[in-house]
Structure formats: C-alpha cells, structure tokens
Structure 1
Amino acid sequence: MQLPIGITRGTSNYGLEYLDIEHPKARARIFLQGAQVTEFQATNQPALLWLSPEEDFRPGKAIRGGIPICWPWFGAHGSDTAAPAHGFARTSVWKLDNVINNDDGVFLTLSLPMPDRPDWPYSASLTLAVSVSDYLGLALTTRNTGSDELVLTQALHTYFNIVDIEQVRITGLAGSRYDDQLLGAAGKGLACSESQLSIAGEVDRIVYPRQPLGLNAPAYQLDIATQGSASAVIWNPWLEKSSRLSNFPTDGYKSMVCVETANCGADVAVIGVGASHTLQVEYRQLNTGKN
C-alpha cells in the first residue's frame, strides 16, 4: 500500500515493522505486530503513553507498554493452561487495510488474519480503527462469522505515562463496584468508598463504572470516553511485582498506570451469529500546566 505524506514505515532492530505518523495535530507510532499503538503525543501536550525503556521489540513477544490488545480472552485462557495470557492478538501481525490523512487527523484501519488455533475454535473477523488527531481513538470490532453464539473477554490495555504515581488520581468512581483481583473470591463486588482513587501500592482491580473515568496526572488531565464497555481495569504492579515482570524496570511502576477499557470480569461480550461488537475508547488531554 502506498502511504500518504506524513506516514512512514520503519523496522525495529529485530525486524518488527511499524508506522510513524506526523500530523499538525499529533504524532504517533503503531506496530503491525499487535496493531499496537506505542507512542502518541498531541501537539502542545505531554506524551500520553508509557513504553518500557527495556522493551526490545522482538517478533512473537508482547510489547511492554503503549496499548496492547487483549483478545479474544483477557488474562488466562478459561480452560487451556498452555494458551498465551491475554490471547493471541497482541503477538500476531496485523494487516494495514486503509490510511486516510486529512486536516482532521490520520485515520487507520487494520485487520487480524485469523489463525487456526486449538485454543480458539471459532469463526470471527477482527478490525481496529485508530484515530490520531488532537485526541487518540481506538475502536476494536469483532464480527461473529460462525454458526454459534460467540462469547469473549477483551481489553485495550493502555499504559499511561504519568511521571509520578504518587500524584495520580483516577476519577469517576463514585457509586461504582469493583473486583479486587489481589483478594481473590473475597474481593468480588466491593463498593468504591470514594469518587477517586490514589495509588500507594500494588493495585489490580476490575471496576464497573457508573460514569466516565478520568485520569489526573502531574502534567495533564485526561478524559476517557468509552462505548461497548461496562468494565475497566486499573493496574499498577508496584515494586515487588515490577522486579518479576519481563522488560519492565524495577522502578517503572513510579511512572505508569494502566486504565484499561474492557469487557472482562462480570462484563463479557456476547455476540450473536452474524452480529458484531465494538469496544471503543477516546482519550482527550487537558494540559494542567504542571511539570
């Protein structure tokens, strides 16, 4: 495909292909492996996404940072212990189908060629639409092309660049319930006691918001608008777990937090024969003027 002016191809040291996008409204980088946005910066705004400085971009290995796509299952496979965590979409090579560059921004469509896998005995198509403008938008659409109802879990596993975890507040939690993954069965269906969450240790929660979530970081305020989702995952590994993660610096937890748009926990996507489901999110920053 011939790319419009402002979009160029590049390759990592180990051969992963990516697209660099330069537009008056924003810049971004998207890897074809995983259809993964690893960089986004709106003009006159700080960089939105966190990417591990230890990431080496090797084929077949999940990229640590940006926006991994967890699909068609979130977390561990329901029955196959040999299946990869968070599905296979994030380590598969996607196909670039279309790119539009106009005054409003750059708009891309990618699709995932469906592999023949014993851990995924279903028929479906998967596409991702990415909008790079003064906002970042993603829309992940699954179409059921088989003859049976399709049930899946998924997430847009976004790592945010937040500079200082101690100054971060996740807003919009009033009236919500959540599952605390660190507590197991005892952590199901807990009530959010406050309207916003500060992080002072490891956190791994599936939240069921009643209103849009937001993120207040030292350098920006972020509005998160979603569709097709009734769950969100809030995650920070903190110090002890950081030391056990691959391609993750020991102190990396200080400068990142994940707020993931999802269909997981009690919120699963049920797709009828011939029907489709779109998991969608838009991120818009407001610069706070803080350093």
Structure 2
Amino acid sequence: MVLERLQLKVVKQLDNAVFEVRNEEGMLFYWVDHPQAKALIAQQGAHLVSYRPNPGKEKLWLSDSSEFTRGKAIRGGIPICWPCFGTLGGDTYPRHGFARTSQWSLDTIKTTEQYCQLILTLCHDSTPEIALSCKFTLGEQASIELTTTNNSPTEFEITGALHSYFITDVKKLHIGSLGDQYIDSVSQQTKYDVTQFELSEETDRIYLKPKNISHLSWDNSTVEIEHRGHDSVVVWNPGKKLADNMADLHSADHFICIETAITQSPVKIPAKHSHQLIQVIR
C-alpha cells in the first residue's frame, strides 16, 4: 500500500472516506479510502500521487527515487504544469510553472456511494487575481478538472498540462488514437502520416491532432485517458540514457507519460471568465 511505501502516518479523519496523513518531512497528504477507489493527493501541487479503482490495479506510476520534500516536484503521479508548460512561460515563471510546488488549500470534500470528491485551491502571489482550483472525483474512474478563473480586469494567458505518469511495460506498450502528426521535441522535426506508435530511445512528442480519448495497453492491461480543454497530447519517456542522469529516476522501463496539454497557442481567458483542463482516467 502507498501509505506504507511512503511511510505516511494518519493525523486525523476529515470525512468518512478521507484522512489527513503526513510524512517525516511534515508534508501533508489526503488519503482517500472509499469502497470504489483508493487514492492519495499531496497538498503540495494538488498532486494526485496514487489512484487505484476497486476492483482494479494501481494506474499511476511513482518513482522509488522521488524526494517527498517541500518545494521539490514529485516524480510520478499527476503533476500540474501551470500557468505554463515547459519553458513557454519564458523568464516569467519557472519551468512548468509554480503550481506543482506550491501549497494548495483543501476547500471541499464530498462523499457519495459512487465517489469521493475533493477540491483544492491555489491563489499565488505571482498571479493574485487568478483563482486556480483542481477538482478530483475518484470512483470507478478518476476525473481531474483544473479550472483557471480570471478575476482580473484584463485577459490572462495560460499554457500547461496534466502531466500524468501511467504504469506500463515500455517493451510491450501500445498507445492508440494519438493521431498521425506530432512534433518531435528531441529532433525538433514535425512527423506526418504516422501510422502507429513506436517508442524512441528518448520519446518527447507533442501530438497535434489527437482524438479526445487515448488508449494505453500492454499485456492484458488497458487504460483510457480522456482529454478536454486541450490543444495537444504530449507523450514522454526519457529512455535509459537520460534516465540514468536524473537523480529522482533510476529507470524509465515501467512508465509512460500521456499528458493532457496546452502547448501550441496560449489559452486567452477574458476577464471574469474561466477555462477548464480536464483528464478522465478509466
């Protein structure tokens, strides 16, 4: 169980299915123990660390070398890249933005027979008039809804991603419905008329015309990933050479990132309007 793996201790019960837990570093997490699903969300980054439907297997990969310390991004699960993806924020924001290393607030818990729902919110000093919330609905499927609300009098632009790490076997995996065109971020070339997915030595691709549902399979395991509010789907696996040089990643053999992303054109959110970036895992 992920609680034992991360050496988390229950601090208090917040709801009949939600518990506040902490690690030795003092980081706070929310443990969901519901008849339909078990999940773990870190307060830092509103980061879904673990999700396992019942019945079913764990869907999200987590590095054994990830450091669970304040201010350090977690390697695995679903990091939130906001308000920018990669270096698209220029010098204004850190790489992949600040949401994934910020301390969020738990706003709402709702539990029914079918699911447990938590809403976490973030108001950051860098964007004081922008409200960010992430709603997790966890049951036989997991829905992650990232909502950006522009409370300022002027337009606000975002890129970003739900940077999901899925458990797989890279030697056996297949990904369908990605489309036939992608930008290879390693070679800086655009590939056309791609007939099927094949992993490269280092895979970093931005699929430009994906369908709204991606299909991941290996052996007898399958995962559906639904995307909404995006303009692209990013597929990433660093491969052995790059993974060997990453301190929090000892192997790239057992995960693939399939990211619901905004990478091509910033979403321009008018004053007093909102945008939702949504991923559903089933």
Residue 173 of structure 1, aligned match among 167, 170, 178: 178
Residues 117-167 of structure 1: per-residue CA shift (max 9 Å, x gap):
3xx5x73110000011011110000011112211111100000011x1010
Q: How does 1:191-230 map to 2 (within 5 A)?
A: 191-194=192-195, 196-211=196-211, 212-230=213-231
Whether contact under 8 Å (2:135, 2:145) holds in the other structure is yes
Q: For residues 70 and 283 of structure 1, what CA distance do their matches in structure 2 show?
A: 18
* Shift in Å, 1:80: 1.2
For 2:58, give the aligned amino acid. A
The aligned residue for residue 9 of structure 2 is: none
Whether contact under 8 Å (2:45, 2:101) holds in the other structure is yes
The aligned residue for residue 255 of structure 2 is: 256
> How does the TM-score come out when normalised to structure 2?
0.91
Q: For residues 78 and 40 of structure 1, what CA distance do their matches in structure 2 show?
A: 30
* Shift in Å, 1:209: 3.0
Find the residue that maps to 2:242 and give its secondary structure.
Answer: helix
For 1:171, give the aligned amino acid. G
Q: How does 1:1-291 map to 2 (within 5 A)?
A: 3-80=14-91, 83-115=93-125, 117=126, 123-162=129-168, 164-174=169-179, 176-184=180-188, 187-188=189-190, 190-194=191-195, 196-211=196-211, 212-249=213-250, 252-264=251-263, 266-284=264-282
Structure 2 unaligned segments of length 5 or more: list them: 1-11
* Shift in Å, 1:72: 0.3
Q: For residues 159 and 268 of structure 1, what CA distance do their matches in structure 2 show?
A: 24
Find the residue that maps to 1:241 and give its secondary structure.
Answer: helix
Q: For residues 96 and 85 of structure 2, what CA distance do their matches in structure 1 show?
A: 5
Find the residue that maps to 2:171 and give its secondary structure.
Answer: helix
* Shift in Å, 1:84: 2.0
For 1:236, give the aligned amino acid. N
Q: For residues 220 and 27 of structure 2, what CA distance do their matches in structure 1 show?
A: 31
Higher mean alpha-carbon deviation, 149-158 vs 70-79, is at 70-79
Spell out structure 1 runs of 4+ moving beyond 2 A: none
Whether contact under 8 Å (1:55, 1:64) holds in the other structure is yes
Find the residue that maps to 1:97 and give its secondary structure.
Answer: strand
Give the CA RMSD over aligned residues.
1.7
* Shift in Å, 1:77: 4.9
For 2:216, give the aligned amino acid. L
For 1:113, give the aligned amino acid. C
* Shift in Å, 1:85: 1.2
How many residues end up aligned between the 2 structures?
Answer: 270
> How does the TM-score come out when normalised to structure 1?
0.88
Q: For residues 268 and 197 of structure 1, what CA distance do their matches in structure 2 show?
A: 27
Residues 206-230 of structure 1: per-residue CA shift (max 9 Å, x gap):
1123422211123421111121112
For 1:12, give the aligned amino acid. N
For 2:144, give the aligned amino acid. L
Find the residue that maps to 2:241 and give its secondary structure.
Answer: helix
Whether contact under 8 Å (2:13, 2:19) holds in the other structure is no
The percent of aligned pairs where both chains have the same amino acid is: 32
Whether contact under 8 Å (1:52, 1:248) holds in the other structure is yes
Structure 1 unaligned segments of length 5 or more: list them: 285-291
Q: For residues 224 and 53 of structure 1, what CA distance do their matches in structure 2 show?
A: 24
Q: For residues 28 and 157 of structure 1, what CA distance do their matches in structure 2 show?
A: 17
